[in-house]
A and B are shown apart, each in its own frame.
Chain A
Amino acid sequence: AQSVTQLDSQVPVFEEAPVELRCNYSSSVSVYLFWYVQYPNQGLQLLLKYLSGSTLVKGINGFEAEFNKSQTSFHLRKPSVHISDTAEYFCAVMANDYKLSFGAGTTVTVRA
Chain B
Amino acid sequence: DAGVTQSPTHLIKTRGQQVTLRCSPKSGHDTVSWYQQALGQGPQFIFQYYEEEERQRGNFPDRFSGHQFPNYSSELNVNALLLGDSALYLCASSSDRNTEAFFGQGTRLTVV
Residues of A within 8 A of B (CB): 4, 32, 36, 41-46, 49, 51, 90, 92, 94, 97-105
Contact = CB atoms under 8 A, between A and B. Distances in A.
Interface of B: 4, 31, 33, 35, 40-45, 48, 56, 58, 90, 92, 94, 97-106
A41 B100 CA distance: 22
B100 A43 contact: no
Contacts of B100: 46, 49
Given A43-B106, A100-B33, A100-B92, 17 more contacts: A42-B105, A43-B90, A43-B103, A43-B104, A44-B43, A44-B90, A45-B103, A51-B99, A92-B42, A94-B99, A97-B56, A98-B98, A99-B33, A100-B45, A100-B101, A102-B42, A102-B43
Contact of B42 (A41, A42, A45, A90): A90
A98 B41 contact: no
Contacts of B104: 43
Contacts of A32: 99
Nearest to A45: B103
A32 B97 CA distance: 13
